[in-house]
Amino acid sequence: MIAAYVRVSTKDQNPDLQREEIGAWAKAQGIKDVIWYEDRISGDKSSRPRLDDLRKDIFAGKVKTVILWKLDRLARSKRDGETLLADWCGRNVRIVSVTQQIDLSGVVGQIVASVLLGLGEIELSNIRERQAAGVAVAKKKGVYQGRKSGTTKGDPMRARALRLQGLKLKEISSALGVSKSTVIRYLAES
């Protein structure tokens, strides 16, 4: 089975570009049947439901090729990405990044992947530094006030409803796009 994994960082973002480019690459390679795994969650979240499903299918020996738009769709952390890629390559899974034009079926591909994952980690760190610097400047100017009192990142009532349906904390945090500790706080407020 050939799988394609796409990920966007938020529920508002659209994965169509990734799907289109992966689909075009697969068609050019004569690949007709691709099973799609799609997450709409930040790459620095430890649990991504569809990636978890893909990992299970790889472990079960169902998936022999994984097609990605870019390697940073798998992981933002170099260490996490290397661990994941090493596991998959160790299971003789072919990994292809279509925009970076690399095929990780050999040792050289794995080394290149390590470098690219490292660059992705640097990029994420730079984004966070710029964001923190921008917030600091805005605070000095009196423009940034932080989150207004009474507002929340997610929906506490939905968190409680999902809990009543029997969902686990991890599942609720994934559904709401918030951390597990935020879900615990929402549930404690009820």
Per the CB < 8 A criterion, the answer to whether 101 and 68 are in contact is no
Here the tokens at position 31 are 């690949």
Residue 133, classified by CB atoms within 10 Å of its CB into exposed (0-12), middle (13-18) or buried (19+), is: exposed
7 in helix, strand or coil?
A: strand
Residue 55, classified by CB atoms within 10 Å of its CB into exposed (0-12), middle (13-18) or buried (19+), is: middle
User: Distance (Å, rounded) from C-alpha 136 to C-alpha 81?
Assistant: 31
Residues 6+ apart with CB under 8 A from 99: 21, 69, 70
DSSP assignment of 9-66: SSTTS--HHHHHHHHHHHHHTT----EEEEEES-TT-S--HHHHHHHHHHHTT--SEE
Residue 105 is among the residues annotated as catalytic for this protein: no
The catalytic site residues sit at 9
